[in-house]
Amino acid sequence: MFGIGKYQYRTDKTYMVFTFESKGPHGVIQKIARFTKIGNNVYNFGFGDFDLITGNISDTVTSNNGDIEIIMGTLGSIVYDFTTLFMDALIIVQGTNTARTRLYQMNINKHWARINSLYDVSGLRNGKWEPFLKIVNYEMIAGKRKSTNDVTKES
């Protein structure tokens, strides 16, 4: 999706969990994302590093594996696939801190034309939701697939 690089990923049989491997100078790092249902058709999108030895998941470590563009492309593709299966899902995204949320937003900005054609996107600012604007920093971002989208055109 969006014509950018991405890692191959896999999902569990509930389609709520997605994993892939980040590959770079610091080796192979297992990444895991999960859509956790928090309301009627509302899902929180969580993402972190999965430690295969301890079983712990963390989003506070900065892995610096030199592949952030590919990771972001992969996450975008995961959200796209999930919302193709669950068209009415509202996806909530919030980073573990302001910088992480900003990182997500920067990638939305970068691919805004494509994202805006597929999703209705809102940002939370000062306790209020508003239509997403590229120039504004948000505390939280929410997106929902536009109902008119023809998924079979995606490749």
Mark residues 7-36: x for contact with other proteins by CB under 8 A, - for none: -xxxxxxxxxx-x----------x-x-x-x
Kindly tell me which residue out of 5, 26, 27, 41 binds other proteins, with binding defined by CB under 8 A: 41
Kindly tell me which residue out of 39, 99, 113, 135 binds other proteins, with binding defined by CB under 8 A: 39
For residue 18, what are the β-bridge partners? 11, 33
**Amino acid at residue number 124:** L
Kindly tell me which residue out of 4, 48, 103, 111 binds other proteins, with binding defined by CB under 8 A: 48
Nearer to other proteins, 38 or 106 (CB): 38
Give 52's DSSP letter.
T
Please tell me the distance from the alpha carbon of residue 116 to that of residue 114, in angstroms, as a whole number. 5
Q: Are 117 and 144 spatial neighbours (Cβ–Cβ below 8 Å)?
A: no
Asked if 3 interacts with other proteins (CB under 8 A), we say no
As measured in angstroms, the least distance from the Cβ of 25 to other proteins is: 21
Q: Are 9 and 19 spatial neighbours (Cβ–Cβ below 8 Å)?
A: yes
